[in-house]
Structure 1
């Protein structure tokens, strides 16, 4: 993925945060924590991943539309872009 270095840094930070949260969920389950606490933390992980995904799509949208990738790929069609967005829904 090419793009704005600041956006990439934000994406990586979100993914690292989600990684830590997921490790916390695993520990909570292993420790037998209350279902409500586990689900609340799991929802936070899910939201962090969604936000990272949306940021990736938003950052790469120009690249996807023009085909200006590092590998010289073809531009994405409208249907392909729609499918990409819906994958995060």
Structure 2
């Protein structure tokens, strides 16, 4: 399944917009990950030992997974729950299950 196979219920705006603190926390996490990726690039440029590079790749993957799972959790608790209360739960639950399936690959 690729991204275009996942039907987005509402692409214009989120059901429950993120708070400023949520945006800040996620942005800071992504900036740290960006720094880790730049560090990986430097490791390759400096011809660092393969195992060291692989360990750092694993750390970046784990950091991205953590960010993704936090977004999934927030979406389920906020957006999907809100949609259920408004009577649109089935559409949002289907969308959530599709994105979980895609994300878990």
Q: How many residues matched?
A: 83
1: CA distance between counterparts of 2:72 and 2:28? 16
Q: Distance in 2 between matches of 1:78 and 1:63?
A: 10
> 2:33–2:60: 8 Å Cα contact kept in structure 1?
yes
Match of 1:18 among 33, 41, 58: 33
Based on CA coordinates, which of the two structures has the bigger radius of gyration? Answer: 2
1:77 is aligned to 2:92: yes
- TM-superposition CA deviations, 1:22-50 (whole Å, max 9, x none): 01111111111111110111111111111
* Root mean square deviation, CA, Å: 2.0
In the superposition, the TM-score normalised over structure 2's length comes to 0.66
TM-score relative to the length of structure 1: 0.75
State which of 59, 63, 74 in structure 2 corresponds to 1:44.
59
Is the 2:80–2:93 contact (alpha carbons within 8 Å) kept by the matching residues of 1?
Answer: no
Runs of 4 or more, structure 1, over 4 Å off, are none
Q: Does 1:63 align with 2:79?
A: yes
Structure scoring higher RCO (CA < 8 A, sep ≥ 6) equals 2
Are 2:42 and 1:27 equivalent residues in the alignment?
yes
Q: Structure 2: any 5+ residue segments left out of the alignment?
A: 1-13
SS of residue in 2 equivalent to 1:77:
helix
Runs of 5+ unmatched residues, structure 1 = 68-73
